[in-house]
Amino acid sequence: MTPKASQLDFNELFDESPQTGLRHNTAPDSVDEWVGNRRPKKRSTTTSQRVIDEYIAESTKRAGTGDWEGAKPHHLVGLYIVCHERVYGVKPIEIAPSTFLFVTQMAKHQLRARFDDDTTAAVEYMRWLWDRERNRREYQDRRARESNQIAGEMRRIGWRLHFSITSPLITDYLIHCKRR
């Protein structure tokens, strides 16, 4: 049975020394023992360009065979880079070694939240999205040529929009699937 606060003898509860909030001996040697002499492992926040190029090559190969079994979010980012380059004519420079892991994390969250970890379903979404984008670009260019004008600038599909779990592009895809 726990005594009420009014029944506690505060002289018994606290010793005479001032309270520091620390629950261990504060002598320098004991802090070193408590913390230990090892340094925490530093996690790398960058990926080498060689590794990114390998994921791009694997994604291209998987796209050709249609075999996405065992693919990781890294492969989805690699596929995004390939699709971006094919539709717009340039690789997305914002996916650099310093941002690749962050983009991969976004792809991983989207894969879990919107595709129930089904990589094949995510790839079908990407196929639909980039096919639609390519057709829109071609249509815009064709209309501009027919009217002897310069094609207007359309916003491109950046990785933040593409891999966001709240992307309106996913809603567009769900509407497309519903209509089929």
The pLDDT score that the predictor gives to residue 1 is 54
The pLDDT score that the predictor gives to residue 88 is 93
Query: Quick one: which of 163, 156, 25, 39 has its CA closest to 88?
Result: 156
Query: Quick one: which of 85, 76, 69, 59 has its CA closest to 156?
Result: 85
Query: Who contacts 47 (Cβ-Cβ below 8 Å, separation ≥6)?
Result: 97, 100, 101
DSSP label of 156: P
Query: Who contacts 68 (Cβ-Cβ below 8 Å, separation ≥6)?
Result: 62, 75, 119, 120, 123
d(CA 118, CA 161): 20
pTM of the shown model: 0.73
| Average pLDDT per consecutive 10 residues, the chain (180 residues; last block may be shorter) | 56 57 56 62 81 96 94 97 95 95 97 96 96 92 78 82 96 94
The pLDDT score that the predictor gives to residue 23 is 56
The pLDDT score that the predictor gives to residue 169 is 96
DSSP label of 165: T
Beta carbons of 51 and 71 less than 8 angstroms apart: no
Quickly count: other Cβ atoms within 10 Å of residue 108's Cβ.
Answer: 17
The pLDDT score that the predictor gives to residue 112 is 97
The pLDDT score that the predictor gives to residue 146 is 82
